[in-house]
Structure 1
Amino acid sequence: MKSPAELDTVPWQNLDHAYGPAEDVPELIRSLYRDDEEAADAAIHELYGNIHHQGTVYPASAPSVPFLAHAARHIPGRRTKLLMLLATLADHDRSDSESAHWPDSSVAEVCAELCRVLPELLPCLSDGERPVRRAALRVVGAVAELFPTGLRAQVEHQVARLHVDDPVPAVRADALVVLDRMGREALPLDSPFPEVRMAAATLLAERCGPPYPAELIEVLGDDGAEPDPGDDDFPWAGTSDPDSHLTGLLAEDPDAALAVAARWIEAGDLGSRGSWLAREITEVWRDREPEVLELLVTALSHQRDTAARARVLGFISRWADRLPNPGDRLRDTLYDCARTEPETARPALLALVRCRDPRALAPVLRRPDAEAVRAAALSFPEAAGELVSVIRRELAAGATGNAAAALITALEPLGTLARQARPELVECLRTRRAAVPAARQLGLGGILTDEVGTALREADESSDASLRASAAVALFRLSGDAAPALRTFRELLSAAQGPVHWHLDRLQPLGSAAAPLLPLIEPMRAARYEWTRVTSAEAHYWITGSAESAVAVLTELVGPSPVGLRALKALASIGRTPEELRPALRAFAFSPLRLLGATPFSECHEDEELRALAWRLLGAGTDHGGHSLANSPASGAGVRAGSRASTRTRP
C-alpha cells in the first residue's frame, strides 16, 4: 500500500484515464482523507467515472490501487465504498486471463496490483461491520483465480472460516461464492441458512447449466422468494446485481424458470421477483406467452404497489395480442383493473383492447387514450366510424407529440372513413403537430384540395428533412406530378440531410417515376452503412422492377438483426427466396429461442416479425426439410403482429 505522501512520486500527467491525463487523481485521493463527507463521496463518485468508466479501466487505474487500498485500511467510515471500488476496478471475465492480450491489458495490471496489496487488506475480512466483510469478500473474489500459491492458502483459510463461523448468513453465503471461485467443489444445498442454500444453488446452476436438476429448482423456488435487502449494494464482479444474474441463469431453462417464478409469485411476488422472472422468459423464449401471462395475472393479486401493478399490466398489454384466445380470467382481471383502478386504468385498458374484448370499446370512446385508440383501430374495425370521430375530436382539441402521432397512425387501417379527418390533418401539418404522419396520411386521402395542396407545398419547403420527404411523396400520390418530389429527393440525397436511408425508404410510392434519381441511388448499394445498402437496394427495385441486383444485396444482409430483418422484409415483398437462404430461414422459423430482442417503443416484437417472414418465404405446406408449415406459430397472432410493422420507427 502507499500513503498519500507518495502520490507525487507517480507521473500522473503521463497516465490517462477516461477523460485524458490523470492529473486530477492525486487530489481526488487526498479528498478521501479529509473530514468532509460530502467531498469524499464526490471524490469516490468521480473516481468511478474516470479511472473506471462504464466497465473500462485505464493506464491510471492500476497505479491508483495501492493508494485506494491504503485509504480503505485507514479510513474506517469509507472502508466499504473503497473496497467496492477496488473490486469494481478488478472486474474481468475470467477467461480473459488466458488470452494473448491479458499481460499488456490495463485490467491485468489492476489485478496484479490488487494481488500485491491484498495481504494488507485481509484484516477487513474480520472487520466488525457486516458491510465491510461483504465488500472485502468482493475484493477477494475479483482476483480469486490469480493468487500466487502462498497467498492462496492464507486467503482460503480466512474465507473458509467466515463460511463456517460468521454470525451473518449473508456473509457465509458470500464466502461460499469466493471459495467456489478458488476451486472448492462443495455446494451445500442442505445448509440450515437459506442465504447459503441460495448461493449454492446459483453456483450449481452456473456449473451444471440447463436443464437444471429438480433439487436446485426446489431450493431456488423455496429460498429465493424474498430478496436480501442488502444484496444490491454488493454486486459481484461480472454481474450488475445478484437478481439480474440469477434471472439470467434461470431464463436459460424456461421450464425451471416458470416453476420458480410460480413459487415466488405464490409467496407474494415480493419485490416483483416472480413477475420480473416471468417477463424475462418471454424475452428469451418463443411461445411461452400463455403460461407467462397466466402467472402475471396471479401476480397482480399480490401487488399492492401501484407502480409495480402498472408495470405488470404494461407487460401484459405488450403481449396480449399474441394470444389467439385470451381466457376469461385474463380479460375479466383487465376489465376490473381498467374500471376500478384509476392509477392503472391506462395499461389495463390497452391490454383489454389488444385482447379484442368488446367491453374495452366503450371506455376507449368515452375517455380516449391515443395508444388505446390506435390499438382499437386494429382490434375493432367494425367501429371505424366512431373511432374516426374520436380521433378528429382529439386532434381538434390540440393533441401533440406522440399522442397526436398515435391518433393519426390509427387512421390508416380505418379505410375511406379516415378521409373525414382531412381538416384536422391539415391543421396538424400547418401547426407542425405530428406533421410527418399528418403529411403521410393526407397523401393516402386520395383528393388534392387547394387547402391540402397548400399545406403540403409549405411543408415541402420545411427545414425538417423528414417532413420535406413525406410532404413530397404525399403531393405525388395526390397529383401524379413527380417533378416536385424529384427536386426534393435530389436535394435530400445529394446533401445527405438526415439519415439517407430514411429518405430512400419513402421512395416506394414514386415507383418508376423516380428513375431520374438512379444515378444517386445506384452507388449507394455498395455503401459501408448497412441501412443505406438495404434501402438503396429496395429503392432500385421499386424504380426499375429488376430484382436481380436487389436480391443479391439483400441476401447478403439477411440475419437476426434489425437491418437483417429489413432485408428479409424486402425479399418477401419482392417474392424471392434465394436457395442459399433456406437454412437460415429454417433456423429463423424453428428456433425455440428468440433471435431478436425487443426494440423500445416498437409496437410488435421484431423476433415475431422475423419468424413470420421466415415462414412466409419458406412457403406454404412443408419446407425443404420436411417440416410442416400449416401449424406454424407465426400463422396466427404472429402474422397479425407482423402486419403492423409499417408503423414502427427504424434506427
Structure 2
Amino acid sequence: MKSPAELDTIQWQTLTHAYGSAVDVPDLIRALYRDDDTTVDEAVHELYGNIHHQGTVYSASAPAVPFLAHAARHVPGRRAELLMLLATLADHTPSDTESPHWPRSSAAEVCAELCRVLPELLPCLTDTERPVRRAALRVVAVVAEMLPAGLWASVEERVRELYAGDAVPAVRADALVVLNRSGRAPLPFDSAWSEVRLAAATLAAERSGPPYPAELVTILAEDGAEPDPGEDDFPWPGADSPESHLTELLADDPDAALAVAAHWIDAGDLGSRGSWLAREITEVWRDREPEVLDLLLAALPHQRDTRSLVHTLDVIGRWVGRLPEPGDELRDRLYDYARADGETARPALLALVRSRDPRALEVLLRRSDAEAVRAAATAFPEASDELTAVIRGELSAGAAGNAADALIAALEPLGAPARQARPELVECLRTRRAAVAAARQLGLDGALTGEVSSVLREARRSSDASLRATAAVAHYRLTGDPVPALRTFEELLPAAQGPTHRHLSLLQPLGSAATPLLPLVRPMLTARYEWTRATAAEAHHWITGSPDDAVPVLAELAGPTPVGLHALKALAAIGRTPEELRPALRACAFSPRRLLSATPFSEDHEDEELRAAAWSLLTLS
C-alpha cells in the first residue's frame, strides 16, 4: 500500500484516464481522507468514472491501486465502498488472460497491483462490518486464479474460516463462491443456511450447464425466492449482481426458468424476481409467450410499487398480441387497470388494445394515448372514423415529438377516413411538428391542393436533409413529376456520410423515374458501411427492375443482425432466395432461441421479423 504522502512520486501527468490526463487523480485520492462526506462521495464518484469507465481501465488505473488500498484500510466508514472500487477495477473475463495482449494491458497491470497489495487487505476479511467482509471477498475473488500458490494458501485459510464460522449466512455463501474461484470446493446442498444452499446450487448449475438437474432447480426455486438485502451493492466480478447472474443462468434453460419463476411468483414475487425472470425467458426463447403471460398475470397482484406494476404491464403489452386468443381473465385485468387513474393506465390500455379486446376502444375514446391509437388502427380497422377523429383532435391540440409521429403513423392503415386529417397534417408540416411523418403521409394521401403543394415546396428547402428528401418523394407521389425529387437526391446522396442509407431507402416510390441517380447509387453497392450497401442494393433493384446486381450484395449481408434482417426483407420483396442462404435461413426460421434482441421503442420484436422473413424466403421456389 502507499499513503497519500507518496502520491507525488507518480508522474501522473504522463498517465491517462477516460477523460484524458490523469493529473486530477492525486487530488481525488487525497479527497478520500477529508472529513466532509459530500467531498468524499464526489471523489469516489469521479474515480469510478475516470480510472474506471464503463468496464474499461487506463494507464492511470494500476498506479492508483496501492493508494486506494491504503484508503480502504484507513478511511473511516468507506472501507466497503473502496474495496468494491478495487474489485471493479480488476474485474476481467478469465479468458482475457489467455490473450497475447493481456500481459501489456492496463487490466493486467491493475490485477498485478491488486495481487501485490492483497496481503495488506486480508484483515478486511475479519472486519466487524458485514459489508466490508463481503466486499473483501469480492476483491479476493477477482484475482483468485492469478494468486501465487503460497499467497492463495494463506488467503484460502482465511476464506475457509469465514465459510465455516461467520455469523452471517450471506458471508458464508460468498466465501463458498470464492473457494470455487480457484478450484472445486464441495457443494453443501444440505446446508442449514438457505443462502449457502442457493450459492451451492448456482455453482453446480454453472458446472453442469443446461438442462439443469431437477434437484438443483428445486433448490434455486425454494431458496432463491427471497432477495438478499443489499446484494446489488455487492456484485460478483463479471456480473451486475448475484440476482442478475442467477437470472441469466436460469434463462439458459427455459423449462427450469419457468418452474423457478412460477415458484417465486407464488411466494409473493419478492423484489419482482419471478416476473423479471419471466420477462427474460421471452427475451431469450421463442414461443414461450403463453406460459410467460400466465406467470405475469399471476404476478400482477404482487407488484408492490407502481414502477414494478408498470414494468409488468409493459411486458404483457409487448407479447399479448402473440396469443391467438388472450384469455378472459387477462383481458379483464388489463381493462380494470386501463380505466383506472394513475401511471398504470397507459401501459394497460396499450396491452388491452394489442389483446384485441373491443373494450379498449371505449377507454381509448375517453383517454387517448398515441401509441395505443397507433396499435388500435391495426387492431380495429372497423373503427377508422372514430380513430381518425381522435387523431385529428390530438394533432390539433398540439401533439408533438414521438406522440405526433405515432398518431400520424396510425393514419396509414385507416384508409379513406384518414384523408380527413389533411388539414392537421399540413399544420404539422408547417409548424415542424413530426414534419417528416406529416410529409410522408401527405404524399400517401393522394390529393395535391394548393396548400399541400406550398408546404411541401417549403419543406424541400429545409436544412433537415430527411425532411427535404421525404417532401421531395411526397411531391413526386402527388404529381408524378420526378424533377424536384431528382434534384434533391442529386444534392443529398453525394454529400451524405453516415445517413446515406436513410435517403436511399426513400427511393422506392420513384422506381425507374430515378434512373438518372444510378451513377450515384452504383458505387454504393461496394461501400464500406453495410447499411449503405444494403439500401443501395434495394434502390438499384427499384430503379432498374433487375435483381442481378442487388441479390449478391443482399445475400452477403443477410443474417441475424439488424442490417442482415433488412437484407432478408429486401430479398423477400425481390422474390429471390439464393441457394447458399438456405442453411442460414433454416437456422433463422427454426432456432428455439432468439437470434435478435428487441429494439427499444419498437412495436415488433426484431427476432419475430427475422423468423418471418426467413420463412418467407424458404417458401420461395
Question: What TM-score range do you get, normalising by the shorter chain?
Answer: over 0.9
Measured against aligned partners, the alpha-carbon deviations of 1:357-388 in whole angstroms (never above 9, x if no partner) come to: 11111111222211111111101111112211
Find the residue that maps to 2:302 and give its secondary structure. coil
Task: State how far apart, in whole Å, the 2-side matches of 1:260 and 1:449 are.
Answer: 62
| Correspondences of 1:488-499 after superposition (within 5 Å) | 488-496=488-496, 499=499
Task: State how far apart, in whole Å, the 2-side matches of 1:341 and 1:226 are.
Answer: 31
Task: State how far apart, in whole Å, the 2-side matches of 1:346 and 1:15 are.
Answer: 51
Task: State how far apart, in whole Å, the 2-side matches of 1:271 and 1:348 are.
Answer: 21
Amino acid aligned to 1:532: T
Where does residue 152 of structure 1 map in the other structure? 152
Task: State how far apart, in whole Å, the 1-side matches of 2:247 and 2:43 are.
Answer: 33
Amino acid aligned to 1:347: P
Task: State how far apart, in whole Å, the 1-side matches of 2:108 and 2:390 are.
Answer: 63
**8 A Cα contact 1:465 1:497, kept in partner:** no
Where does residue 430 of structure 1 map in the other structure? 430
Where does residue 387 of structure 2 map in the other structure? 387
Following superposition, the deviation at residue 533 of structure 1 comes to 0.6
Task: State how far apart, in whole Å, the 2-side matches of 1:308 and 1:120 are.
Answer: 43
Find the residue that maps to 2:461 and give its secondary structure. coil
**8 A Cα contact 2:176 2:185, kept in partner:** no
Find the residue that maps to 2:549 and give its secondary structure. helix
Amino acid aligned to 2:421: A
Following superposition, the deviation at residue 339 of structure 1 comes to 2.6
Find the residue that maps to 2:402 and give its secondary structure. helix
TM-score, normalised to structure 1's length? 0.94
Where does residue 295 of structure 2 map in the other structure? 295
Say whether 1:27 aligns with 2:40. no
Where does residue 600 of structure 2 map in the other structure? 600
**8 A Cα contact 1:384 1:414, kept in partner:** yes
**8 A Cα contact 1:80 1:131, kept in partner:** yes
Amino acid aligned to 2:477: R
Measured against aligned partners, the alpha-carbon deviations of 1:296-337 in whole angstroms (never above 9, x if no partner) come to: 000002123222111111111111111111111211111122
Following superposition, the deviation at residue 497 of structure 1 comes to 7.3
Say whether 1:502 aligns with 2:520. no
Amino acid aligned to 1:387: L
Task: State how far apart, in whole Å, the 1-side matches of 2:167 and 2:498 are.
Answer: 62
Task: State how far apart, in whole Å, the 2-side matches of 1:389 and 1:35 are.
Answer: 63
What are structure 2's unaligned runs of at least 5 residues? Answer: none
**8 A Cα contact 1:353 1:360, kept in partner:** yes
**8 A Cα contact 1:473 1:506, kept in partner:** yes
Say whether 1:127 aligns with 2:127. yes
Where does residue 351 of structure 1 map in the other structure? 351
Find the residue that maps to 2:78 and give its secondary structure. helix
**8 A Cα contact 1:19 1:50, kept in partner:** yes
Measured against aligned partners, the alpha-carbon deviations of 1:555-613 in whole angstroms (never above 9, x if no partner) come to: 01001111000000110000000000000000000000000000001110000000001
Where does residue 15 of structure 2 map in the other structure? 15
**8 A Cα contact 2:568 2:613, kept in partner:** yes
Find the residue that maps to 1:576 and give its secondary structure. coil
Percent identity between the two aligned chains: 75
**8 A Cα contact 2:137 2:178, kept in partner:** yes
Q: CA distance change for structure 1 residues 223 and 378 in 2, over 3 Å: closer, same or farther?
A: same
| Correspondences of 1:360-375 after superposition (within 5 Å) | 360-375=360-375
Find the residue that maps to 1:225 and give its secondary structure. coil
Amino acid aligned to 2:557: L
**8 A Cα contact 2:314 2:348, kept in partner:** yes
Amino acid aligned to 2:157: H
Task: State how far apart, in whole Å, the 2-side matches of 1:304 and 1:111 are.
Answer: 42
- The farther-off stretch of 6-15 and 433-442 is 6-15
Following superposition, the deviation at residue 208 of structure 1 comes to 1.1
Find the residue that maps to 1:548 and give its secondary structure. coil
Where does residue 211 of structure 2 map in the other structure? 211
What are structure 1's unaligned runs of at least 5 residues? Answer: 624-651
Task: State how far apart, in whole Å, the 2-side matches of 1:400 and 1:9 are.
Answer: 58
Following superposition, the deviation at residue 341 of structure 1 comes to 4.8
Where does residue 562 of structure 1 map in the other structure? 562
Find the residue that maps to 1:411 and give its secondary structure. helix
Amino acid aligned to 2:223: D
Q: CA distance change for structure 1 residues 244 and 528 in 2, over 3 Å: closer, same or farther?
A: same
Where does residue 449 of structure 1 map in the other structure? 449
- The farther-off stretch of 574-583 and 69-78 is 69-78
Amino acid aligned to 1:226: E
Task: State how far apart, in whole Å, the 1-side matches of 2:500 and 2:417 are.
Answer: 34
| Correspondences of 1:65-464 after superposition (within 5 Å) | 65-464=65-464
Find the residue that maps to 1:343 and give its secondary structure. coil
Where does residue 585 of structure 2 map in the other structure? 585
Amino acid aligned to 1:356: R
Find the residue that maps to 1:76 and give its secondary structure. coil
Following superposition, the deviation at residue 41 of structure 1 comes to 2.0
**8 A Cα contact 1:317 1:347, kept in partner:** yes
Task: State how far apart, in whole Å, the 1-side matches of 2:168 and 2:304 are.
Answer: 30
Find the residue that maps to 2:77 and give its secondary structure. helix
Task: State how far apart, in whole Å, the 2-side matches of 1:613 and 1:575 are.
Answer: 11
Where does residue 617 of structure 1 map in the other structure? 617
Task: State how far apart, in whole Å, the 2-side matches of 1:5 and 1:307 are.
Answer: 48
Q: CA distance change for structure 1 residues 390 and 37 in 2, over 3 Å: closer, same or farther?
A: closer
Following superposition, the deviation at residue 16 of structure 1 comes to 2.1
**8 A Cα contact 1:465 1:498, kept in partner:** no
Amino acid aligned to 2:301: S
